[in-house]
Structures are given as C-alpha cells and as structure tokens.
Amino acid sequence: MKRYFFEISYNGTDYYGWQRQPKQISVQEEIEDTLTKIYSNTPQSILGCGRTDAGVHAKHFIFHSDLEGIEDIDQFVFKLNRMLPESIVVHSMYEVESIKHARFDATRRSYRYFMHLKKDAFHNGLSWYYPKALDIDKMNEAANHLIGKKDFTSLSKLHTDVKTNICDVQSAHWFIEGNQLIFEISADRFLRNMVRATVGTLIEVGLGRIEPYEMLEILEKMDRGAAYTSVPAHGLFLWKVEY
C-alpha cells in the first residue's frame, strides 16, 4: 500500500460540494466510486485538501489516497479520467511519504471569485454577471483590512464544526482581466462561506454604501449579521493549493 497525491480540477455546478453527503452527489463520492470500480468493487477512500461548497469549482485541488498495485501511473490516470465524468479531470498523481497529508500539510490556499461586468455568453455558470459600476480602488482599500491573522467570524457561516475562526490572510486584492473583475485571496485556511461573504461585503464598499474602513469594524464585531449577503457560488474557484 502506497500513498499518492492527486492533482485535479472540477466544475462544481452539478455537485453538492466536495465532501460526501447523504442523499446528495459530491465530487468526493464520484472519485471514490470510480476508484472502487477500478479495484474490483473493493471500497476505496480519499481525503481532500479542504472542502468546497455546493456549486463552487476548483482549478487546483489535491487529495490523497492509499492504494496498491499501481505499476504504471500514467496509465492509471488515463483510466481514471476515462471513467470519471467530464466535470472532473485528474491532471497528475505521484507517490508521497506515508505521513504526507493533503489537508493538514497544505500551507497556503488561494481562491478567486470571477465577475463579468458586461453580458457574455461564454462566462455563464463560471462567473457572476454584475453590470453595476463599482469603485475598485475603494474595494482594494477595504480588502487590505483583511490581511493578517484575524478572527473571521463575521464572514463565516454560522454553527460550523471548526475549533477556531482565526485565519491568517496573506493577500487579498481585486484586478481586471479582459471584461472580468476578479478577487483573489490567499490564506493558511478558510472558513465555510468566507470568500463569498467577503466578496459580498466588498461589493457594498464598491457601491459606496459603506466605507473601506468599515470592513475592519465588521471583523471586530465577530458577528455574521454585521457583514453582507454572500455572492452566488458559481463565480468561486479554489485556485491553488501550496505545500
């Protein structure tokens, strides 16, 4: 038995998030079921670098699994891709030490949220159409208040099972690429719904409804009710995981 890391991407539109859920289809379930078929219906399990919510995508996601009998890795990846749905792609797999852990050994995760400011038929389902004018400079000023080791209770889903709401945000900024407005944020860890709640609150800054400095006040209140509505899931991507 050897431990392998897998690098994958997935379109989360049709899934109830990464993690296996009762009575709901998940990315984890699709992959585990496929591996089980490869191993003659012997149950196989995998463990991901984190969770993504329903409808959220991943450009770069890592999971690990303990497997046996793999003689040709390239052929194994080819077979896995052929059996998985088109919405899930395995880019590579490689052997690691048995103590390596896809979740606990990750040191930095980056998310991107995509918005398109003009109607575009090719961004449907992967970017949020938002035609209102936004002050990006003020949104970046507000985003600066996110950086550092802070309590993000105000930007987290309520009643989750985490031990702490402290996250160390290393960078957070908006930029324009083509006709898309993109928010990128990197941290050691993220809370449930944190990025979508953050984007929704920063949009309020961009609309001029709140001032940039109020982002810091929202964090200090440690109250989800102090922040604003979360943006739709389909614009969010787990963009990169680093070890």
pLDDT (tens digit per residue) in 197-210:
999 999 999 999 99
53 catalytic residue (yes or no): yes
Residue 157 has pLDDT above 90, yes or no: no
Residue 161 has pLDDT above 90, yes or no: no
Nearest to 154 by CA among 226, 232, 209, 230: 226
For the chain, the residue count is: 243
* Neighbouring C-alpha atoms within 13 Å toward the C-beta of 147: 10
Average pLDDT over residues 10-34: 97
For the chain, which domains are there?
Answer: 2-96 (3.30.70.580), 108-242 (3.30.70.660)
The single residue of 33, 53, 72, 74 carrying the catalytic annotation is 53
pTM of the model: 0.95
Q: By the 8 A CB rule, do 46 and 91 touch?
A: no
